[in-house]
Structure 1
Amino acid sequence: MNTIVVWKEPQGTVVPKAADNASAIASVAKNLSTRDQKQIISAFQSESFEMMAGFVLNKALSQLKRALASLGMSFVGEMLGRADINEDSVPTVSISDYEAITLARELGVINSTDAKRLTQHLELLAHFDSLNTDDAESEEMAREEALSFLRTCVNAVLGREGNVAPAEFVTFRSQLESRTFKESDGELLTLQVAPYFFKKTTLSILIAGAKTKIGAQFEHLLGNIVVIVPVLWKGLRDSEKYALGQAYAEAVNAGAHPAVLALKKALSAVQGFDFVPESLRSQTFAAAASNVISVHTAMNNFYNEPAAIQALSRLGTTIPWPAFPICMSAVLAVKLGNQYGVSNAAQSTANDFLGRLTKNQWEYYLNECLPGDELVVQKLTWYKGPRRNWIEMLKDFQVPDIAAKSTQVTKLLVSSHKADESATEGAAKALLDSMHK
């Protein structure tokens, strides 16, 4: 019986521990040309550390994006929830750096440790890039930082034979369009114990296919919606349940009767109509929040965040529930900032947003959203500044100190309300680790 084989992230390192100079590290970068290796070594020897770091990180991220694109750009768009990405999209342009790192880790293309380091390197480079001329003269990248950039990029991407998504995942994705599963099939039994991203992505494939496919592929996808949704439902977070409800609302509005029947049957089987929105207003909120996150994780974020979060704020004071998780993630990213500080000009808008939240909304975020909000939990795990901002925020906005549905979130809240930074870091790390299981 064929079953889904859950992929494992790459293990071990490529760069020898004894390699302590640019030449030794670059020499094992199999995916860099001899010319590129020479340029890296030359830049390092001339102490052009920021130039070298930017060059090698760009090479690594470009290769990572091409690896993701091997799955098909439409599929990448499905996994990222990006309706603007289609088969003709250029991966190096369409996929943001942060999206590439996060998606590659979730797919097992790179491991968790390398993903963390790449994210932090990305933030460090963005920090140096945003410095004005005077500050840039006094704040220079250190030799050790540049060497760390090179080591991480070679270990994660440039020194590997080939960073590709697992064949089992590609096969299962194809089968969703080529056969209709039965409840007793081994693939569905394995799906129930697979990592959450596998379940989330499977649902995204089914929803996207119901909108775009035709012929036999369309029929199989509709049949699999009816069979697979009940299998996944109890383990899905509200954000995914709302995505299914949103798909039903769109199908009704479009008069797509076959899709309506399949989605209605699936939602009826799980009593899921509470997640069907009354309007499609949530799409606008979700798109604006997604833009805030994109700006926050890109270059010149402190400069660009005010306009992005103001655009979100201008959409209205009442947030549709389907868009609430991503809106909170976006606002908290701005509020907490990163290891280099916050966008001061964006803080008043973020504070206005948080100040309007009701106790019910806070409880919903803490119970249903925070356990899956990797962007926010990463900040609390990795950086002192965002942790301190989080602790101050809980006090300023009278955030509840317990989460009835999550003992891990409750531990985080208790330590945060006590202003115990060490315990807060530990609780956040435990929560982040649980997301990757």
Structure 2
Amino acid sequence: MPQDEANIIIKSCISYILYSNDDTFGLQFNDFREKLKTVRITEIFDDDETMFATCPYFYLKTTVRSLIKLLKETEGIEFENISINLNLIIPQIWKRLKTEEKRAFADAYTDCVNSNDYIRTDALNKILLKVQGFDYVKENIRSRTFISVANKLIDTHFGVNNFYNEPGIIQTLENLGTKFPKPALKNCITAVLYVKLGNSYNTSWSAETVADRLLNRLTTDEWILYLDRYIKEETDLLDSIHGPNKVPRMYSQWKLVVKTYKLKSLSITDPIAKQILS
């Protein structure tokens, strides 16, 4: 589709959002909506990447809002086409989107979670992971998502083929967002530490690289909260790094963590935490 025709179609979307009374615009918008439900965006525009990279922002806003609405309305093959178009469009425009549109997309995910709409939740979850958009999801939903992935990582660590399976899951944890939600802090740090410490045999090297990045972004306050309040509840982890049954290799890795992040210098009051830092 030529650039001028593409612009006309998207302009018609704008008129629809603004509740224009122009019947012609309404018909053009409906045509655009129908195309989104029946074909991929790459079949609508000759060069969709260039178009979305250079078009006025209002075009992006309208397209995002329209796709969100269509995702909720469609079923069957139309829903599949909308899901495909979302996967094609959102990642390439995410960095251009303003906070309002990012939140609107994240709110659509929250709505699907709250209504137990697992199919639409999964579709939006994959896109949010791809664009690292969970920072815009409401806190309680974000926390539940982080906790779920962290617990899966812990289960994987203690399962078969853990060295092979850990990298993909910890990468998912990293992709959820740039900061652990406070309610999920305990689960997330514990899961990352298990990956970092490994086991009596070794460590999953690929997973450890991601673990290092996640540990690097922890703040002093987050370390203090975890060590002072939470680590004493992680009895399996404590047994591995402290006391008569500690695992030598995991203990060695723990001492490296303590040194790297200067944990001894933190103002820790919990006696158990003080012992494992000494």
Q: Name the TM-score, length of structure 1 as normaliser.
A: 0.31
TM-score, normalised via structure 2 length: 0.48
